[in-house]
Amino acid sequence: MHLKYESFVREPLVNGEKTYHQVTEEIVRPIEQKPGRMWYVGFFFSVALLMLGVFSVTWEVYYGIGVWGINRTVGWGWDITNFVWWVGIGHAGTLISAILLLFRQGWRTGVNRAAEAMTIFAVMCAGQFPVFHMGRVWDAGFIFPLPNSRGPLWPNFNSALLWDVFAISTYFTVSLLFWYSGLIPDFATVRDRAKTKLRKRLYGIASFGWTGSAKNWQRHEALSLVLAGLSTPLVLSVHTIVSFDFATSVIPGWHATIFPPYFVAGAIFSGFAMVQTLLIVCRRIVGLEDYITVGHIEAMNKVIVLTGSIVGVAYLTELFMSWYSQVIYEQDAFKWRIMGPYWWSYWAMMTCNVVSPQLFWFKKLRRNIPFTFIMSIVVNIGMWFERFVIIVTSLYRDYLPSSWTYYSPTWPEVGFYLGTFGLFFTCFFLFAKYFPVIAIAEIKFILKTSGESFKHKMDVIHEKPTEQFVHEQAEAHH
Amino acid sequence: MAIKKFAVACYDDEEVLFPAVKKVRHSGYKLHDVYTPFPVHGLDAALGLKETDLHIAGFIYGITGTSTALGFMSWIFTSDWPLVFGGKPYLSLPAFIPITFELTVLFAAVGMVLTFCYLNQIMPGVKKHVFHPRQTDDLFVVAIELNEHVSETEVIDFLKSTGAVETNVQVAESEWWYGRFDKKEPYELA
């Protein structure tokens, strides 16, 4: 009986009556065709932004960190704001690929490849900011505990900033391995149907010589499961450690035990918004509406409304705790956040993150694609402001009123931020052209249980009276 | 390098593949391998393959990472270069937890992926024989190794009877070698 009703209520994950071959054809098609005009326009725009970023960073490295707007009071400005923002965006990819795999959520197969790619590119963007914030980037290697000629002198393993170095580099490496191990069989698919010699050669190298042997698949599944099991605590640890950068200090507004869960929820919130932004455009341009369905979009909107509400509760808890603590520094930090010179950033954060996602309680809006697209951008603006509020509005009025200041970015900071968009989208456009955007083997794996044609077979079962169904099931197993 | 002769059968559905694999195992012919475009659950059991020990390797790599991180940090802060940070003890174990955790995950993941590649004998530049170009698309391919004791036509007839949509006999390299997928191998041209 259980079997009868479970399949009926779930909508298909792949629309259209598809065969295995059709799945291959449709997902590999963008790789084998010349890209359309939209792709070229987008790609060259991204490269232009990337060039602007390179110019801004070169300027900063040449003239020194003084060309940025940061000062002695506000030591962390747009750079660390952007760092936390990009790292947070990355979290959705790992959540989809790892946590949803452990929870056996079938819908992840349609979006996991692109979301994981997003994770990797977002972490690449994030990493730029702390590195160039060092000023003397040529000494960046000293953050790693490498033997050196000064003693050797080691980094401080008790520092949250050093934990971050380990967390981000581990996160990047593990995400890359997880993503690539899933890509190997799909590259083999592209290789075996390649018409041109060059494509056959390059995808031959990229596929590591994969043939799809039964034993190899068995190991592949074991590997995916263990990597998912490792990535799940890893992704939670990464943003926890990012929040330690703030929470382990004694700055009012930062010194809070709520930070780790609050940051992790915020990261998943912004990450899912970015997945929506990318995939709503991508499914259209690449023509994969049958695989990234409205059902997928709705599922992600549910995650957005959940995590958005957690973030909202965290904001209110922060306010309560500052009042309840009866510490004037804590109270003033929050009073100035709400009513000080940066009031607009606080209210932008509140509106975008707490109020607007509540609209997703309505099913009609969750399934509305243009609305979701706009919301995904609103959420990411809100989450950027959250980091700006946490960082800048905790720093600009410190314990010494004579050092109070107002911080605004200069053009190299803005250019650097825009440049990381360039890096992100350049990578994503190349990914959309040369990589299977959807995990082909995984879609085939769920096709028989979640594809539309197989759902139709379930309709027949649904028509049957329950008594008859149970009887037939019992008979079938004898 | 060992060039061998194979009887190859292609099936277009995993529901046909399962009984076919069962029959091949009972027939006593030497089953070379089965190739599928996606992981087919239960196929490893049908083939009588042992459960993989990859996760045990992962555990060993993981604890290697744990002990490397803990040992290294403890050695540095207690004997190589002891420093006092904020009046805390030299061996401040709780502060070592984040890095210890990260290195555990890093060692386990990197080690497992390398072991996976080693066991599967896959690497950039490695080439293996592909029995059917659609074995990574929509066909399920069974390859039986032929020798002088079995008759070619008999095996092919047997494979046809199991529901194969396509059967043929191929001479191919059975192991991996360094090569390019855009080039035909000498045995393929012969």
In a domain, A1, yes or no: no
Per-residue pLDDT of A418-439, as tens digits, reads 999 999 999 999 999 999 999 9
Instruction: Tell me the pLDDT band of B190, cut-offs 50, 70 and 90.
Output: low
B78 at interface of A, judged by CB pairs closer than 8 A:
no
Per-residue pLDDT of A386-421, as tens digits, reads 999 999 999 999 888 999 999 999 999 999 999 999
A246 at interface of B, judged by CB pairs closer than 8 A:
no
Per-residue pLDDT of A206-245, as tens digits, reads 999 999 999 999 999 999 999 999 999 999 999 999 999 9
What does the DSSP 8-state code read for residue B42?
A: T
Instruction: Tell me the pLDDT band of A1, cut-offs 50, 70 and 90.
Output: very low
What does the DSSP 8-state code read for residue A65?
A: G
Please give the residue range of the domain that contains residue A72: 19-450
B92 at interface of A, judged by CB pairs closer than 8 A:
yes
**How many alpha carbons lie under 13 Å from residue A181 in its C-beta half-sphere?**
28
Please report the beta strands in A290-375, taking only residues with DSSP state E, as ranges in sequence order.
none
In a domain, A14, yes or no: no
Per-residue pLDDT of A103-126, as tens digits, reads 888 888 888 899 999 999 999 999
Per-residue pLDDT of B63-117, as tens digits, reads 999 999 999 999 999 998 888 888 888 998 999 999 999 999 999 999 999 999 9
Per CB-CB distance under 8 Å, the chain B contacts of A20 are 37, 137-138
Gap between the Cα atoms of A375 and A111, Å rounded? 19
- Whether residue A293 contacts residue A18, with contact meaning beta carbons closer than 8 Å, is answered with no
Gap between the Cα atoms of A234 and A102, Å rounded? 14
Per-residue pLDDT of B16-65, as tens digits, reads 898 999 999 888 888 999 999 999 988 888 888 898 999 999 999 999 99
Q: Tokens 């190298």, residue?
A: A205
A227 at interface of B, judged by CB pairs closer than 8 A:
yes
B126 at interface of A, judged by CB pairs closer than 8 A:
yes
Average pLDDT, chain B: 90
- pLDDT, position A95: 85
How many whole angstroms from its chain centre is CA B34? 12
> Over 90: is that where the pLDDT of A96 sits?
no
A203 at interface of B, judged by CB pairs closer than 8 A:
yes
Per CB-CB distance under 8 Å, the chain A contacts of B40 are 214, 217
Which tokens is A163 given? 């934990």
> Over 60: is that where the pLDDT of A4 sits?
no
Neighbours of A404 (CB within 10 A): 12
In a domain, A143, yes or no: yes
Q: In angstroms, what separates the C-alpha of A193 from chain B's closest C-alpha?
A: 7
In a domain, A467, yes or no: no
CA closest to B80 among chain A residues: A152
In a domain, A464, yes or no: no
- Whether residue A170 contacts residue A423, with contact meaning beta carbons closer than 8 Å, is answered with no
What CATH number is given to the structural domain containing A27? 1.20.1630.10
Bond from prior residue into A152 cis (ω within 30 degrees of 0): yes
Q: In angstroms, what separates the C-alpha of A382 from chain B's closest C-alpha?
A: 29
- pLDDT, position A366: 92
A397 at interface of B, judged by CB pairs closer than 8 A:
no
- pLDDT, position B85: 82
Q: In angstroms, what separates the C-alpha of A373 from chain B's closest C-alpha?
A: 33
Tally of domains in chain A: 1
Residues above pLDDT 90, as percent of chain A: 67
Nearest CA to B31 out of A110, A214, A382 is that of: A214
> Over 60: is that where the pLDDT of B3 sits?
yes
> Over 90: is that where the pLDDT of A97 sits?
no
Per CB-CB distance under 8 Å, the chain B contacts of A183 are none
In a domain, A176, yes or no: yes
Average pLDDT, chain A: 89
Do A226 and B96 lie within an 8 Å CB cutoff?
no
Gap between the Cα atoms of A464 and B57, Å rounded? 49
Per-residue pLDDT of B140-173, as tens digits, reads 999 999 888 888 888 899 999 998 899 999 888 8
- pLDDT, position A477: 61
Amino acid letter, B54: L
Instruction: Tell me the pLDDT band of B188, cut-offs 50, 70 and 90.
Output: confident
- The DSSP bridge partners found for residue A451 are A14
Residues above pLDDT 90, as percent of chain B: 51
Per-residue pLDDT of A159-190, as tens digits, reads 999 999 999 999 999 999 999 999 999 999 99
| Ordered domains of chain B (ranges, CATH) | 3-49+124-189 (3.30.70), 54-120 (no CATH)
Per-residue pLDDT of A291-348, as tens digits, reads 888 888 999 999 999 999 999 999 999 999 999 999 999 999 999 999 999 999 999 9
Q: In angstroms, what separates the C-alpha of A89 from chain B's closest C-alpha?
A: 20
Residues 6+ apart with CB under 8 A from B52: A215, A218, A219, A222
Per CB-CB distance under 8 Å, the chain A contacts of B133 are 192-193
Nearest CA to A88 out of A299, A263, A350, A301 is that of: A263
Per-residue pLDDT of A182-203, as tens digits, reads 999 999 999 999 999 999 999 9
**Mean pLDDT over residues A130-149, rounded?**
88
> Which of A21, A25, A181, A192 to probe by mutation at the B interface, max B CB count within 10 Å?
A192
B85 at interface of A, judged by CB pairs closer than 8 A:
yes
Sign of the C-alpha dihedral computed for residues B92, B97, B99 and B104 taken in this order: positive
Whether this prediction's pTM lies above 0.90 is answered by yes
Gap between the Cα atoms of A59 and A412, Å rounded? 7
The string of DSSP letters for A89-151 reads: HHHHHHIIIIIHHHTT-TTHHHHHHHHHHHHHHHHHHHHHHHHHHTS-GGGGGGGS----SSS
In a domain, A91, yes or no: yes
Choose the weakest-confidence range: A184-193, A456-465, B88-97, B119-128.
A456-465
A216 at interface of B, judged by CB pairs closer than 8 A:
yes
In a domain, A272, yes or no: yes
B171 at interface of A, judged by CB pairs closer than 8 A:
no
- pLDDT, position B2: 85
Neighbours of A187 (CB within 10 A): 23
Gap between the Cα atoms of B13 and A87, Å rounded? 43
- Whether residue B143 contacts residue B35, with contact meaning beta carbons closer than 8 Å, is answered with yes
Which tokens is B144 given? 């039986």
Tell me how many degrees the CA angle A215-A216-A220 measures, rounded to the nearest 5: 120
Q: In angstroms, what separates the C-alpha of A411 from chain B's closest C-alpha?
A: 36
> Over 60: is that where the pLDDT of A82 sits?
yes
3-class DSSP state of B173: strand
